[in-house]
Amino acid sequence: MRMPSLAALLLFCLGAQGLAEDGQESAHDFSFASIDGGPLPLSTFSGKVILIVNTASLCGFTKQYAELQALHERYVEKGLVVLGVPSNDFGSQEPGGSQEIKSFCEVNYGINFPMTEKVKVKGENAHPFYAWAAEEVGFVGKPRWNFHKYLVDSNGELLAWFSSPTSPLSSKVVTAIEGVLVAGSENAG
């Protein structure tokens, strides 16, 4: 009986997961569905800095929506996109459908930054962006609760992550965003 090569075993073990990740080298390789319907490829934001945040309407951190909107308003003209990604993965704190979530965000927080449809951000069925991001940052940088934040530069490179309790307006987040925006404007000029 012929034994399979080590390379063949490795490919077999990786299976479809290895194939799905092939060629996905930046955040711009992923797409969500917009909360308004239709595709929302992250490549749409090429040339911009993106703060991707998994959100929930019934969480102790839900007040961060106001801070995310303030961050959006402060930096949108300088090239920042805040992207809200509703998820029901933690404590079942986002039970509603797209229209309910959108209405909640607009009425209670005046949200006008883009949002996606509700997705899974952890586990086997995590959205492909979140599976990729978890591999990029390792175990310690994976979402552990709602309002986990990923900072992506204008080329789609995942630069940093911030835990749920970290305020979007904290000096840590603002300094990171300003640094990436300045670097991006220097590279463009």
Catalytic residues: 59
Measured distance between the N- and C-terminal CA atoms of the chain, rounded to whole angstroms:
63
Q: One-letter amino acid identity for 105? A: C
Convert the chain into a string of H (helix), E (strand) and C (coil). CCCCCHHHHHHHHHHHHHHHHCCCCCHHHCEEEECCCCEEEHHHHCCCEEEEEEECCCCCCCCHHHHHHHHHHHHHHHCEEEEEEECCCCCCCCCCCHHHHHHHHHHHHCCCCCEECCCCCCCCCCCHHHHHHHHHHCHHHCCCCCCCEEEECCCCCEEEEECCCCCCCCHHHHHHHHHHHHHHHHHHC
Q: Which residues on neighbouring strands pair with residue 161, listed in sequence order? A: 150
Q: One-letter amino acid identity for 78? A: K
